[in-house]
Structure 1
Amino acid sequence: MKTLLIALLSILSYFELSAQQNIQTPISKINSVFKCHPNPVENELYILGVNKIKSVEFINVLGKRAAIYLFNKSIIKIDVSYLKTGIYILQVIDEYDKVEIKKLVVR
Protein backbone atom coordinates (compact mmCIF):
# COMPACT_ATOMS: atom_id res chain seq x y z
CA MET A 1 0.00 0.00 0.00
CA LYS A 2 2.88 2.33 0.80
CA THR A 3 4.36 1.74 -2.67
CA LEU A 4 1.02 2.54 -4.30
CA LEU A 5 0.76 5.77 -2.33
CA ILE A 6 4.27 6.78 -3.36
CA ALA A 7 3.38 6.01 -6.98
CA LEU A 8 0.25 8.16 -6.78
CA LEU A 9 2.18 11.05 -5.27
CA SER A 10 4.81 10.68 -7.97
CA ILE A 11 2.30 10.89 -10.82
CA LEU A 12 0.48 13.80 -9.20
CA SER A 13 3.70 15.76 -8.88
CA TYR A 14 4.51 14.92 -12.51
CA PHE A 15 1.23 16.49 -13.67
CA GLU A 16 1.78 19.49 -11.40
CA LEU A 17 5.25 20.10 -12.83
CA SER A 18 4.01 19.61 -16.40
CA ALA A 19 1.32 22.23 -15.87
CA GLN A 20 3.89 24.70 -14.57
CA GLN A 21 6.33 24.27 -17.47
CA ASN A 22 6.27 26.56 -20.46
CA ILE A 23 5.37 25.73 -24.06
CA GLN A 24 8.75 24.06 -24.64
CA THR A 25 7.64 20.85 -22.91
CA PRO A 26 8.61 17.90 -25.15
CA ILE A 27 5.72 16.42 -27.13
CA SER A 28 6.56 12.95 -25.80
CA LYS A 29 5.71 14.06 -22.24
CA ILE A 30 2.49 15.80 -23.30
CA ASN A 31 1.22 12.71 -25.14
CA SER A 32 2.29 10.20 -22.51
CA VAL A 33 -0.22 7.41 -21.94
CA PHE A 34 1.33 5.89 -18.82
CA LYS A 35 4.17 5.70 -16.33
CA CYS A 36 5.49 2.48 -14.89
CA HIS A 37 7.83 1.50 -12.09
CA PRO A 38 10.07 -0.10 -11.10
CA ASN A 39 12.17 -0.61 -14.18
CA PRO A 40 14.01 -2.97 -13.99
CA VAL A 41 11.31 -5.07 -12.34
CA GLU A 42 11.48 -8.38 -10.48
CA ASN A 43 8.02 -9.18 -9.16
CA GLU A 44 5.37 -6.47 -9.27
CA LEU A 45 5.04 -3.80 -11.94
CA TYR A 46 2.93 -0.72 -11.25
CA ILE A 47 1.38 1.10 -14.18
CA LEU A 48 -0.23 4.51 -13.78
CA GLY A 49 -2.33 5.66 -16.70
CA VAL A 50 -3.12 9.25 -17.57
CA ASN A 51 -6.54 7.86 -18.58
CA LYS A 52 -8.08 4.43 -18.02
CA ILE A 53 -6.00 1.67 -19.55
CA LYS A 54 -7.63 -0.88 -21.87
CA SER A 55 -4.73 -3.25 -22.41
CA VAL A 56 -1.17 -3.99 -21.38
CA GLU A 57 0.95 -6.23 -23.59
CA PHE A 58 4.41 -7.70 -22.98
CA ILE A 59 6.35 -8.49 -26.16
CA ASN A 60 9.67 -10.33 -26.00
CA VAL A 61 12.78 -9.52 -28.05
CA LEU A 62 11.72 -12.03 -30.71
CA GLY A 63 8.52 -10.06 -31.26
CA LYS A 64 6.27 -12.70 -29.69
CA ARG A 65 3.54 -11.80 -27.22
CA ALA A 66 4.57 -13.00 -23.78
CA ALA A 67 1.38 -11.79 -22.08
CA ILE A 68 -1.61 -9.53 -22.55
CA TYR A 69 -3.94 -8.12 -19.91
CA LEU A 70 -7.23 -6.29 -20.36
CA PHE A 71 -8.30 -3.60 -17.90
CA ASN A 72 -10.62 -0.66 -17.43
CA LYS A 73 -8.76 1.32 -14.78
CA SER A 74 -5.87 3.75 -14.48
CA ILE A 75 -3.86 2.23 -11.60
CA ILE A 76 -2.63 -1.29 -12.25
CA LYS A 77 -0.42 -3.79 -10.43
CA ILE A 78 0.83 -6.78 -12.44
CA ASP A 79 2.79 -9.77 -11.15
CA VAL A 80 5.59 -10.31 -13.66
CA SER A 81 7.58 -12.88 -11.67
CA TYR A 82 6.63 -15.59 -14.20
CA LEU A 83 8.35 -13.72 -17.08
CA LYS A 84 11.83 -14.88 -18.04
CA THR A 85 14.69 -12.52 -17.32
CA GLY A 86 15.26 -10.21 -20.26
CA ILE A 87 14.12 -7.17 -22.18
CA TYR A 88 10.48 -6.69 -23.16
CA ILE A 89 8.46 -4.12 -25.01
CA LEU A 90 5.61 -2.90 -22.83
CA GLN A 91 2.70 -1.70 -24.98
CA VAL A 92 -0.16 0.11 -23.30
CA ILE A 93 -3.41 1.23 -24.96
CA ASP A 94 -5.69 3.65 -23.15
CA GLU A 95 -9.45 4.14 -23.31
CA TYR A 96 -9.04 6.58 -26.23
CA ASP A 97 -6.95 4.03 -28.20
CA LYS A 98 -3.74 5.99 -27.68
CA VAL A 99 -0.77 3.63 -27.79
CA GLU A 100 2.56 4.03 -26.04
CA ILE A 101 5.45 1.59 -25.85
CA LYS A 102 8.37 1.48 -23.46
CA LYS A 103 11.31 -0.82 -22.88
CA LEU A 104 10.98 -2.96 -19.76
CA VAL A 105 13.78 -4.93 -18.15
CA VAL A 106 12.74 -8.02 -16.18
CA ARG A 107 15.23 -9.46 -13.67
Structure 2
Amino acid sequence: NGTNFSPGISFYIDPTKYDTGWNEIKFSFTAPQTNLVLFAYKKDRKANDTPGTINRNNAARMDDFSIIESTTASVEDLKKFNFSAYPNPALNNLTISASKNIENVEIFNLIGQKVMSLSPNSDNKTIDVSNLNTGVYILKATIEGIKGSYKFVKQ
Protein backbone atom coordinates (compact mmCIF):
# COMPACT_ATOMS: atom_id res chain seq x y z
CA ASN A 1 0.00 0.00 0.00
CA GLY A 2 2.95 2.36 0.50
CA THR A 3 5.94 3.00 -1.68
CA ASN A 4 9.21 4.66 -0.75
CA PHE A 5 10.98 6.81 -3.29
CA SER A 6 13.63 9.48 -3.37
CA PRO A 7 13.43 13.04 -4.72
CA GLY A 8 13.84 13.06 -8.46
CA ILE A 9 12.47 9.53 -8.84
CA SER A 10 9.28 8.86 -10.77
CA PHE A 11 6.71 6.29 -9.78
CA TYR A 12 4.03 4.52 -11.76
CA ILE A 13 0.61 3.49 -10.48
CA ASP A 14 -0.27 0.24 -12.22
CA PRO A 15 -3.98 0.35 -13.18
CA THR A 16 -4.17 -3.45 -13.06
CA LYS A 17 -3.47 -3.39 -9.30
CA TYR A 18 -6.34 -1.06 -8.35
CA ASP A 19 -10.06 -1.22 -8.98
CA THR A 20 -12.08 1.51 -10.64
CA GLY A 21 -13.26 2.99 -7.33
CA TRP A 22 -11.39 5.38 -5.06
CA ASN A 23 -8.08 4.09 -3.73
CA GLU A 24 -5.81 5.54 -1.09
CA ILE A 25 -2.18 5.41 -2.11
CA LYS A 26 0.51 6.47 0.36
CA PHE A 27 4.12 7.34 -0.32
CA SER A 28 6.92 8.07 2.12
CA PHE A 29 10.02 10.03 1.28
CA THR A 30 12.76 12.07 2.84
CA ALA A 31 12.87 15.72 1.84
CA PRO A 32 16.20 17.09 0.63
CA GLN A 33 18.18 19.30 2.99
CA THR A 34 16.63 22.35 1.34
CA ASN A 35 13.26 21.10 2.65
CA LEU A 36 11.85 21.94 -0.77
CA VAL A 37 9.49 19.28 -2.07
CA LEU A 38 8.10 19.54 -5.57
CA PHE A 39 5.22 17.34 -6.63
CA ALA A 40 4.03 16.84 -10.19
CA TYR A 41 1.05 14.79 -11.30
CA LYS A 42 1.02 13.56 -14.87
CA LYS A 43 -1.63 11.32 -16.36
CA ASP A 44 -0.53 9.38 -19.42
CA ARG A 45 -2.94 9.59 -22.29
CA LYS A 46 -3.38 7.28 -25.20
CA ALA A 47 -1.87 8.29 -28.52
CA ASN A 48 -5.29 8.70 -30.13
CA ASP A 49 -6.74 10.85 -27.31
CA THR A 50 -7.48 14.42 -28.33
CA PRO A 51 -5.68 16.89 -26.04
CA GLY A 52 -8.12 18.57 -23.65
CA THR A 53 -10.77 15.86 -23.84
CA ILE A 54 -11.50 13.35 -21.13
CA ASN A 55 -11.52 9.70 -22.07
CA ARG A 56 -13.77 8.23 -19.38
CA ASN A 57 -12.22 4.80 -19.95
CA ASN A 58 -8.74 6.16 -19.26
CA ALA A 59 -9.39 8.74 -16.54
CA ALA A 60 -7.57 9.26 -13.27
CA ARG A 61 -8.66 11.72 -10.66
CA MET A 62 -6.94 12.98 -7.56
CA ASP A 63 -9.28 14.04 -4.81
CA ASP A 64 -7.33 14.82 -1.65
CA PHE A 65 -3.60 15.33 -1.58
CA SER A 66 -1.63 16.03 1.57
CA ILE A 67 1.93 16.13 2.76
CA ILE A 68 2.30 15.34 6.44
CA GLU A 69 5.48 16.49 8.10
CA SER A 70 7.09 13.90 10.27
CA THR A 71 9.62 15.18 12.72
CA THR A 72 12.02 13.71 15.20
CA ALA A 73 11.77 16.78 17.45
CA SER A 74 10.75 15.89 20.96
CA VAL A 75 10.29 17.41 24.37
CA GLU A 76 13.97 16.49 24.94
CA ASP A 77 14.90 19.27 22.49
CA LEU A 78 13.22 21.78 24.80
CA LYS A 79 14.51 20.25 28.03
CA LYS A 80 17.24 22.88 28.44
CA PHE A 81 14.43 25.47 28.62
CA ASN A 82 12.62 23.50 31.36
CA PHE A 83 9.63 23.18 29.04
CA SER A 84 6.55 21.58 30.55
CA ALA A 85 2.91 21.12 29.62
CA TYR A 86 0.27 20.21 32.19
CA PRO A 87 -2.11 18.76 33.16
CA ASN A 88 -1.88 15.72 30.94
CA PRO A 89 -4.55 14.60 30.25
CA ALA A 90 -6.15 18.04 29.86
CA LEU A 91 -9.85 18.76 30.11
CA ASN A 92 -10.37 22.45 29.32
CA ASN A 93 -6.94 24.06 29.68
CA LEU A 94 -3.34 23.08 29.01
CA THR A 95 -0.64 25.22 30.62
CA ILE A 96 2.77 25.44 28.99
CA SER A 97 5.80 26.96 30.68
CA ALA A 98 9.53 27.35 30.08
CA SER A 99 12.51 29.30 31.37
CA LYS A 100 12.54 31.40 28.15
CA ASN A 101 9.83 32.91 25.95
CA ILE A 102 7.78 30.38 24.03
CA GLU A 103 7.65 31.93 20.58
CA ASN A 104 5.23 29.72 18.72
CA VAL A 105 2.86 26.85 19.49
CA GLU A 106 1.03 24.63 17.03
CA ILE A 107 -1.29 21.77 17.93
CA PHE A 108 -1.90 18.90 15.50
CA ASN A 109 -4.28 15.97 15.60
CA LEU A 110 -2.88 12.52 14.88
CA ILE A 111 -3.65 12.70 11.17
CA GLY A 112 -1.44 15.75 10.85
CA GLN A 113 -4.06 18.49 10.66
CA LYS A 114 -3.16 21.72 12.42
CA VAL A 115 -6.01 22.46 14.81
CA MET A 116 -4.55 25.43 16.68
CA SER A 117 -1.75 27.96 16.33
CA LEU A 118 -0.66 30.76 18.64
CA SER A 119 2.32 32.97 19.45
CA PRO A 120 2.47 33.32 23.25
CA ASN A 121 5.77 35.29 23.39
CA SER A 122 5.73 34.48 27.08
CA ASP A 123 7.35 31.93 29.36
CA ASN A 124 3.94 30.80 30.63
CA LYS A 125 0.67 30.40 28.77
CA THR A 126 -2.64 28.68 29.51
CA ILE A 127 -4.21 27.36 26.32
CA ASP A 128 -7.96 26.81 26.06
CA VAL A 129 -8.32 23.30 24.59
CA SER A 130 -12.01 22.90 25.48
CA ASN A 131 -13.03 23.10 21.81
CA LEU A 132 -10.78 20.17 20.81
CA ASN A 133 -12.30 16.73 20.37
CA THR A 134 -11.32 14.03 22.85
CA GLY A 135 -8.13 12.34 21.69
CA VAL A 136 -4.36 12.50 21.41
CA TYR A 137 -2.62 15.62 20.07
CA ILE A 138 0.90 16.75 19.28
CA LEU A 139 1.92 20.20 20.54
CA LYS A 140 4.90 21.71 18.71
CA ALA A 141 6.60 24.57 20.53
CA THR A 142 9.42 26.86 19.42
CA ILE A 143 11.80 28.45 21.94
CA GLU A 144 14.79 30.48 20.72
CA GLY A 145 14.37 28.90 17.29
CA ILE A 146 14.50 25.35 18.67
CA LYS A 147 11.45 23.22 17.98
CA GLY A 148 10.20 20.39 20.11
CA SER A 149 7.06 18.32 20.22
CA TYR A 150 4.99 17.09 23.13
CA LYS A 151 2.16 14.57 23.09
CA PHE A 152 -0.89 15.27 25.23
CA VAL A 153 -4.33 13.79 25.71
CA LYS A 154 -7.51 15.87 25.54
CA GLN A 155 -10.27 14.39 27.73
- TM-score, normalised with respect to structure 2: 0.48
Structure 2: where are the runs of 5+ without partners?
A: 1-75
Tell me the residue number matched to 2:147: 99
Which runs of structure 2 are paired with 1:49-64 in the superposition (5 Å)?
49-64=98-113
Relative to the length of structure 1, the TM-score reads 0.68
1:29 CA displacement:
7.6
1:84 aligns to what? 133
Structure 1 segment 1-107 matched on structure 2, within 5 A = 30-32=79-81, 34-94=83-143, 96-107=144-155
Which of structure 1's runs of 4+ aligned residues deviate more than 3 A? 27-33
Residue 149 of structure 2 aligns with an amino acid whose one-letter code is I
Which 5+ residue runs of structure 1 have no aligned equivalent?
Answer: 1-26
Identity of aligned residues (%): 31
Label 1:49 to 1:101 Cα distance change in 2 as closer, same or farther (>3 A). same
Letter of the 2:93 counterpart:
E
| Counterparts in 2 of 1:67 and 1:105: CA distance versus 1, 3 Å | same
Q: Once the 2 structures are TM-superposed, how far is the Cα of residue 98 of structure 1 from its aligned partner?
A: 0.9
Count matched residues. 80
**CA positional deviation for 1:30:** 4.7
Question: Is the radius of gyration larger for structure 1 or structure 2?
Answer: 2
Asked if 2 retains the 8 angstrom alpha-carbon contact of 1:45 and 1:79, the reply is yes
Decide which structure has greater helix share.
1
Output the aligned Cα RMSD: 1.8
Q: 1:29 to 1:78 in 2, by over 3 A?
A: closer
Distance 2:78 2:110 in 1: 25
Greater relative contact order structure (CA < 8 Å, 6+ sep): 1
